[in-house]
Chain A
Amino acid sequence: MSRRILSYAILAVGALLTTFPFMWMIGTAFMSDREAAAMSLNFWPAVWRWSNIMQTFQAAPFGRYFYNSFLVAAVVTASVVLTSLLAGYAFARLRFLGNRLVFALVLATMMIPFEVTLIPNFLIIRDLGWYNTYSALIVPWCANAFSIFLVRQAFLALPGDYYDAAKIDGCGHLRFLVRVAAPLVKPTLVTVALFAFLGSYNALMWPIIVTSDKEMRVVQYGLTVFWGEGGVRVNLLMCASAIVILPTVAIYFAAQRYFLESSLSAGIKG
């Protein structure tokens, strides 16, 4: 019994330490300037200043940053779902010459670290005239091998009889895909969409490299420059961090099931 209490105690202390930066962030976000700048162990504001949220949006164009981030993430997500749905179906169900070879090549792109293709990709974007455009932020991320792989696996798990039955009824591949197969792999598509959205929303390096215009900044980039541009007003900086974190945490809690399922399979199947 005492061992049980001990493990509870260890876990509780660990959990407090782990979540402390976030508690501190939220407390500090609503402090007055003086409270936030003081060197003290206090992280509970005397008065909760909700107006700090407004001030943060006034200190830097976070509205614009969010607009950019959400626009880019939404289009990337939709495109990734679309491209991996189509390609995943083709690799799983269609018989054509070179299916295996092309699929192996697609998987091989997973091995290429993004950092390695960074400079060539920048040069390609520049030569396309896409520097400082939404296209630069979106198009390179509209397809990825891992999503295609996930969707293909989901299609392989569907019984082949479905297609045979549909074919007898006069249904071709496209109609079968849209009407029958896609709704059946919806959980996988949601997982793919979640990862695509979060990946795009959380990206930092690529936006730094292909945009320089203030109007084109995404939130993550905006947050890194806020430190210098906003003067160091710690409370507003923490308020901005909290605002940036909020959407991802909300999405995570709304879709916890899908996240856990996907990590479960990753861990067990290796």
Chain B
Amino acid sequence: MEVERAPGQPRECSDVNGLVGWGLGTLVFAGCLLFRRPLGTAGDTVLARLDDILDHPRFARLGDGPSAVLLLVPALVILAVFGFAPLLYAVYISLFDVHAGEFVALENYVRAWNDPEFWGSIRVTIYYALGTIPTTLVLSFSIAWLLFRLGRGRGVFRTAYFLPYVTSVVAAATVWRVLLRPHSGYVNALFHAVGLPAQTWLIEQRGVLYLLTHGWFAPETGPSLALCCIIAFDVWHASGFAIVIFLAGLTAIPRELEEAAVIDGAGPFQILRNVILPLLSPTVFFLFIVSAIKAFQSFNSFYTLTNTARSTDTQNLVIYIYAQLYENQRFGYGATIAVCLCVAIVALTLLQWRFLGRKVHYE
């Protein structure tokens, strides 16, 4: 894994000193702003002088232009250099063989089209999205609904369910990885205790359908058991966020509507279906779009759970891009896949907006 990629690059952390100065400066400044400690009269004078220069009558024609330039430059420079420029740069280098330095036009795209590993990674991404999004939404809505009806003790439960979300994916996935160890893992100990055969979980490349039906399906059909473990992990990790948001949405629904439905003789499921869900549709829509985008970008859980045993059955698009960069150093081809991913995400979001957005009921 330890690849030394850039010969001639400084290995020392030579920028520490400048950085510490800069860091301390921003920290002090942010601290002053946050905790309302005035910068003292000296700071005030400096600001007043600056204001005088910026508001000089000479600039009257420009409105607040000079102040705007001063305030916007820090943010805009960073966004331009590390946000916009790389996007254009990605499209640009996707037309090149970076190592040979030659322009290859659309060759990289043709190559992607004919690359079974690329299509495999798309398949994994789609399985993953189909596996995580509906499960997370249904599960967290059910829990939020129960919590909402509960009243007392809601806070404790909410904290418990929210806990995975506030832990880092890497640390939580490390715990799961140990729990799912192939030989002596805790889950296998549980399986052993109830008389089920031990599984190899995260390194199992055969499909769940194959394992569940004892070979009725081909081993390559459907997602592998390893991928299902990753899906289960991410459902577990992301549900807390969805629960909190569903709870917020439920709390915002006026109680009178529900009461009116009860008076009209509606049962709990009718209320849920005809009153609550339509009024909750903006929340569902928001969660749907956010989790779809996230599903296409998932990296940390895939990387941590399959770190040393990476194989094509658990390689999603982002991992594949990463592999081009880190393991193969095929920058042009990696950028090509990245451009495809970007197009896919934007297209997907627009489609959802168009088709689902229409069904959303805003009060």
Q: Which of A148-190 contact B (CB under 8 A)?
A: 148, 171-175, 177-179, 182-183, 186, 189-190
Given A14-B161, A115-B341, A172-B52, A205 and B86 contact (CB-CB distance below 8 Å) = no
**Shortest Cβ distance from residue A133 to the other chain B in the assembled complex, whole angstroms:** 5
Helix, strand, loop or mixed for chain A's interface?
Answer: helix
Which residue from B47, B82, B299, B321 sits with its C-beta under 8 Å from A204?
A: B299
B10 in the interface (beta carbon within 8 A): yes
A41 in the interface (beta carbon within 8 A): yes
Which residue from B6, B166, B172 sits with its C-beta under 8 Å from A126?
A: B6
Which residue from A77, A202, A213, A267 sits with its C-beta under 8 Å from B170?
A: A202
Q: Is the CB of B341 within 8 A of A81?
A: no
Helix, strand, loop or mixed for chain B's interface?
Answer: helix
Which residue from B50, B75, B282 sits with its C-beta under 8 Å from A83?
A: B75
Contacts of A248 in B (CB 8 A): 166-168
Given A115-B341, A118-B325, A129 and B163 contact (CB-CB distance below 8 Å) = no
Q: Is the CB of A87 within 8 A of B331?
A: no
Which residue from A19, A102, A212, A238 sits with its C-beta under 8 Å from B72?
A: A102
Residue of A whose beta carbon sits closest to that of B153: A8
Give how many B residues have a beta carbon under 8 Å from the other chain's beta carbons.
Answer: 134
Q: Which of A1-44 contact B (CB under 8 A)?
A: 7-8, 10-12, 14-15, 18-19, 21-22, 24-25, 28, 37-41, 43
Contacts of B79 in A (CB 8 A): 106, 109, 143-145
Q: Is the CB of A244 within 8 A of B48?
A: no
Name, among B4, B93, B150, B168, the residue most crowded by chain A CB atoms within 10 Å (CB to CB): B168
Which residue from A120, A193, A220, A270 sits with its C-beta under 8 Å from B86?
A: A120
B335 in the interface (beta carbon within 8 A): yes
Contacts of B54 in A (CB 8 A): 172-174
| Complex Cα gap A131–B303 (Å) | 22
Interface size class of A (residues with CB under 8 A): 35 or more
Q: Is the CB of B178 within 8 A of A234?
A: yes
| Complex Cα gap A42–B323 (Å) | 39
| Complex Cα gap A186–B90 (Å) | 38
B263 in the interface (beta carbon within 8 A): no
| Complex Cα gap A117–B70 (Å) | 27
Given A11-B150, A75-B26, A133 and B14 contact (CB-CB distance below 8 Å) = yes
Contacts of A81 in B (CB 8 A): 30, 33-34
Binding site for B on A (CB under 8 A): 7-8, 10-12, 14-15, 18-19, 21-22, 24-25, 28, 37-41, 43, 71, 74-75, 77-79, 81-87, 89-90, 94-97, 99, 102, 105-106, 109, 111-124, 126, 129-135, 138-140, 142-145, 148, 171-175, 177-179, 182-183, 186, 189-190, 193, 198, 201-202, 204-205, 208-209, 212-213, 215-216, 220, 223-225, 227-228, 234, 237-238, 240-242, 244-245, 248-249, 252, 260, 263-264, 266-268, 270
6 nearest interchain CB pairs?
Answer: A172-B51, A117-B86, A120-B86, A39-B184, A267-B245, A120-B89
